[in-house]
Amino acid sequence: MPYLPPNVEAPLRRLIQAIGAARQVGDLLDQCLLNLSAAQAHGSHYFTPQGIARLMVGVAAPQDGHKVLDPVCGSGGLLVESHRYVSERVGVNPAMVLLGKEQHAHTSQVARMNLAVRGIDAHVFPPGDSLAEPETVPYDIVLANLPFNQPAWAPKDRQDHPLVDPRWLDELPPKGSANSAWILHIAHALSTQGRAAFLMADIAAKSPQPAARRLRERLVRDDVVECVITLPPRVFGHTEATAGLWVLNRDKSARPGWGSTDRRRQVLFINARRDFELIPASRTRRLGDRHSNRILAALARWRGLPESGSADIPHRDEPDWSRSCTTEEIAHRLYDLMPTTYTAKPPEHTSSTGSRVYELKRELVEMLEEGHALEPRLLDALEEI
C-alpha cells in the first residue's frame, strides 16, 4: 500500500488505496479511460475505442525497430496498441521509438500515465499544436484519430505564405476545415517506406470542392493511397458523423519482409458501413473482432502478407464490400475516394424494399454530413463580404 501523508483528503485517500489494491491496474485504467472518454465526448476529446485502435494498428502493421508517431495522441491508446501488436510478434520488449503529441495539457498527462502504468517506454512531447510546424524527421508509422472538420486551424503567420511550408507546396489547404491540412501533414511525415493509418470524415473522400479534389488527385498521382475503409456510424460513441479509415503507403511494391504482391497504381476500397455489433445491454455499437479480422484478412491477402495465413490465395473483389481499383479508374471518377462509389453492386431490375431504404438512409446521412462540413467555409465567406 502506498504511503499517504496525513493531510490527504478522505475521498482521494480511498481512491489511492483502491488503485493500490488492484491486481490488474491496466484493466482498471482502461475502464477509467473509457469513463473519462464518455464524459468528454461532447467536447470532442474522446479517446479511440480499443477495437478501432486495434484495426488502425493492424492495417499499418508496425514492425520491431520502427519509429511511430501519433500527432494527436490523446490518452496514448494507439501507442499502447502499437507496442502490444509488435510485442506479440517478437516475443520480447520491442525496440520501437514511440512518440506522441497532444495539444491539451491535461490530456497529455493522461497519455504519460497510461504509458507509464504499462511500463512502455515512450515520449510524449510538451503540449502543442502539431499542425503549427511540419515534422522535422521521417517516421515509419503515423497513426492518428484526427479531429473531424476542425475549423480555423491555420496559424496566422502562415495563412498567406503557403510556399514557406514544405507540406503545402503550392497551395495552402482551406482555412475553414483542417481535414486537408492533416492529411498533407501526415503524408509529409512518412519515410520512403512509411505507412499511415488515420480516421477521417467521409466528406474528405468525396467533397466536390476544388481544393479537396486537388488534394485527392495529388495523393493518387503520388501513389501513396493504399486503402480506404468506410466504418459504421456511431462506433465512436460520441457522434453521428460518418467516417473512414485511410491507409497511406509510400512503397506499395512487392518486397522481402513485406508483401508478395505489387500494388503500385492500385487502391483497395472496403465498405464496412454495416459491419458492426451491438454492445450487450446497450444501444451503442462497436466494430467487433469478427468484422475487424475480416477487414485485416482482406487487406493482408491484397498485399500478399504471409502472416494472413492465406498469402497464396489471391485477392477477390466482393460486391458491395471490397474492390481493388486502378488509379486510372479513380482519375476517371474525378479522384473520388469514397469506397461506396467503387464497391456498389451493379444496378438490378428489382431490389428489396429494405435494401433501397438502407441506400436512401446512407445517402441522407452523407448529405447531412457534407452540409455540416461546409458550414465553416460558408461562415468564412460571409465574413469576407
Count of beta carbons in the 10 Å neighbourhood of residue 340:
20
Place of cell 520491442: 94
Q: 188: domain range?
A: 44-372
Q: How far apart are CA 116 and CA 20, in angstroms?
A: 15
Q: Please state, rounded to an integer, the average pLDDT across all residues of the chain.
A: 83
Checking if the pLDDT of 264 tops 50, the result is yes
The stretch 311-322 carries a mean pLDDT of 86
Q: What number of H helices and E strands is found in the chain?
A: 12, 11
Instruction: Give the pLDDT band of residue 274 (cuts 50, 70, 90).
Output: very high
Give pLDDT tens digits for 214-261: 999 999 999 999 999 999 988 875 566 789 999 999 999 999 888 999
Range 16-34 average pLDDT: 59
Per-residue HEC secondary structure of 222-238 comes to CCCEEEEEECCCCCCCC
Instruction: Answer yes or no: is 334 within a domain.
Output: yes
Reported pTM: 0.82
**Count of positions (residues) in the chain:** 385
| Cα 372 from Cα 176, distance rounded (Å) | 12
Which pLDDT score is estimated for 314?
A: 85
Query: Higher-confidence residue: 142 or 282?
Result: 142
The answer for residues whose C-beta is within 8 angstroms of residue 62's C-beta and 6 or more apart is: 68, 82, 85, 86, 96, 140, 141
- What's the whole-number mean pLDDT along residues 263-275? 96
Could you tell me if 191 and 153 are in contact, meaning their C-beta atoms sit under 8 angstroms apart?
no
Residue 163 pLDDT exceeds 60: no
Q: Which three cell numbers stand for residue 147?
A: 479531429
In Å, how far are 130, 173, 379 from 384, measured between CA atoms? 27, 18, 9
Q: What are residue 285's DSSP bridge partners?
A: 278
- For residue 383, tell me if it sits in a domain: no
Q: Is residue 169 part of a domain?
A: yes
Q: Within 13 Å of residue 205, how many CA atoms lie on the same side as its CB?
A: 27
Task: Please indicate, yes or no, if residue 65 is contained in any of the structural domains.
Answer: yes
Instruction: Provide CB contacts within 8 A for 78, sequence distance 6+.
Output: 48, 53, 56, 57, 70, 143, 144, 145
Find the mean pLDDT for residues 351-378: 62
H-helix or E-strand spanning residue 323: strand 322-326
Alpha helices in 91-150 (DSSP H): 105-117
Q: How far apart are CA 225 and CA 213, in angstroms?
A: 14
Q: Give the integer Cα–Cα distance in Å for 308 and 364.
A: 37
Res. 26: pLDDT tops 60: no
What does the alpha-carbon distance between residue 147 and residue 134 come to, in Å, rounded to a whole number?
Answer: 18
DSSP state of 321: T
pLDDT digits (tens, 9 = 90+) for 35-64: 554 555 444 445 688 899 999 999 999 999
User: Strands 190-201 and 139-145: what pairing?
Assistant: parallel
Report pLDDT digits (tens) over 164-198: 789 987 788 988 889 999 999 999 999 999 999 99
Over residues 256-270, the mean pLDDT reads 94
Q: Is residue 3 part of a domain?
A: no
Q: CA-to-CA distance for 86 and 62, rounded, in angstroms?
A: 7
pLDDT at 249: 98
The pLDDT > 90 percentage for the chain reads 54
- The tally of domains found in the chain comes to 1
User: Is residue 192, in this structure, part of any structural domain at all?
Assistant: yes
Q: What is the mean pLDDT of residues 78-103?
A: 94
Residue 85 maps to a domain: yes
334 — alpha (psi -120 to 50), left (phi > 0) or beta? left
Q: What is the pLDDT of residues 104-147, one digit of tens each?
A: 898 888 888 888 888 899 999 999 999 999 999 999 999 999 98
Which pLDDT band holds residue 2 (cuts at 50, 70, 90)?
very low
The answer as to whether 20 is a domain residue is: no
Residue 22: is its pLDDT beyond 70? no
**What is the CATH classification number for the domain harbouring 341?**
3.40.50.150
